[in-house]
Amino acid sequence: MPRKLKHCAVVGGGIIGVAVARELANRLDGVQVTVYEKEDRLAAHQTGHNSGVVHAGLYYEPGGLKATLCRRGVELLKEFCATKGLPYETCGKVVIAQTGQEKKRLESIFARATANGVPGVRMLRGDQIGEVEPNAVGLSALHSPETAIVNYAAITNALADDVRAAGGHIRLGQEVTSLAQQGSGVVVHTRDGGEHYDLVVACAGLQSDRLAAATGEPATPRIVPFFGQYFLLGGDAKTKVKGLIYPVPDPKHPFLGVHLTKRIDGEMMLGPNAFISFGRESYSWRNVNVRDVLNYTLFPGFWNFARQNVPSAVREFQTVVSKKKFIKEAMRFVPSLEGATVLPGTRGVRAQAMNGDGSLVDDFVIARRRDTVLVRNAPSPGATSSLAIAEYIVQQALQD
């Protein structure tokens, strides 16, 4: 029998947190929902700094949480954008293999995509790639015509409008310091004091492990921040790519590598790379957070990860220090980008959950602790899956 909830709180004003708040407001009669966000605006961190891609579900293990919630999330997101009049562009994506080894891995990805029910997905021979991306080259490619792009910050604000319309509250500039389980319900503590709620859902992103630890949960998996720098193609170069062009993931490297991504405003992004960040919310080199740096340098798991990924670190560092290296990586797929001008784009910081042995947590991790639900890990396709994650969380939370 579903629980009776009257007062609910969500910690975190990114797209997942606000989607959960909206789902609570829509599912429960007479509920009062409050969202706590420590910044002065919503979507201030990962949601507002990502690529804007609506992932179709190509890579994920069939039957896993990522695969299931990604496919459901796409449909919900598309429907929401149509209802709200928000841009949703189905620009398509090609994943290009350049070697025989990559071609084999790409065929495995195709099998996963097919098992996940990705619509329209197909394999292309090298001579067929130009039919989709006229300037791209490769040995073979996987084409996902339904992969799309959106503005996730705009979607988050539209979700927040629905929360407010249902009588909910969005409290900006309110940092949650801890959650305290009571005999029944949870007290949300901020610097202004504490308030009691029947249910609290923590979607704290880059701070998720700290909030979990302050709630009495294990500190591991630990969030280790990796920044991703994007550049924008300048001049005519942006017209050489129609949609999204990705490399084949290499299991030897923990991150994907440079790719080309059309943005919803028509700009063409190049990137991102992935390198250790000097802060969980540091969007420039000048912004160093000593507490955050100490947090991962004193974590044995980070050094285990570093030892296992020296070649990847070298590869990524080259793109950090050299724009030419950035372009050279992209030229593997679009040779006509040689000599292209690039302009600085946005920089994001990825909340990467890491185990004590240095392994990266891949799937979504959502933990229940009595009257608290903690989103411990929601990497890509977290934004794509946000509305489905909200459905999943609320369904779980309503069970006794």
Asked whether residue 63 is domain-assigned, the answer is no
Residues 184, 238 within the same domain: no
Residues 45, 192 within the same domain: yes
pLDDT of residue 1: 43
pLDDT of residue 296: 97
Type and span of the H or E element at 293:
helix 290-297
- Determine contact, residues 57/381, Cβ cutoff 8 Å: yes
Q: Please enumerate in sequence order all residues whose Cβ is within 8 A of that of 60, keeping only pairs 6 or more positions apart, or say none.
A: 66, 67, 70, 112, 116, 381
Least confident of 127-131, 194-198, 226-230, 292-296: 226-230
Helix 323-331 and helix 310-321, axial crossing angle in degrees, nearest 10:
110
Neighbours of 184 (CB within 10 A): 9
Residues 217, 230 within the same domain: no
Residues 234, 301 within the same domain: yes
Q: How far is residue 108's CA from residue 30's CA, in Å, rounded to a whole number?
A: 48
Q: How far is residue 251's CA from residue 274's CA, in Å, rounded to a whole number?
A: 15
Residues 227, 372 within the same domain: no
Cis amide bond preceding 134, omega within 30 = no
Q: How far is residue 70's CA from residue 65's CA, in Å, rounded to a whole number?
A: 8
Sorting pLDDT into bands at 50, 70 and 90, what band is 320?
Answer: confident
Asked whether residue 74 is domain-assigned, the answer is no
Residues 237, 377 within the same domain: no
Asked whether residue 322 is domain-assigned, the answer is yes
Asked whether residue 56 is domain-assigned, the answer is no
Residues 131, 217 within the same domain: no
Residues 179, 217 within the same domain: yes
Asked whether residue 320 is domain-assigned, the answer is yes
Domain count across the chain: 2
Say if residue 327's pLDDT is above 90. no
pLDDT tens for each residue of 87-141: 999 999 999 999 999 999 999 999 999 999 999 999 999 999 999 999 999 999 9
Question: What Å distances lie between residue 170 and 34, 36, 147, 174, 195, CA to CA?
Answer: 6, 6, 31, 10, 15
pLDDT tens for each residue of 131-159: 999 999 999 999 999 999 999 999 999 99
Domain residues for the domain of 37 are 7-50+153-221+362-397
CATH classification of the domain holding 345: 3.30.9.10
pLDDT tens for each residue of 207-240: 999 999 999 999 999 999 999 999 999 988 999 9
CATH classification of the domain holding 20: 3.50.50.60
Going by the DSSP 8-state scheme, the letter that residue 239 receives in this structure is: G
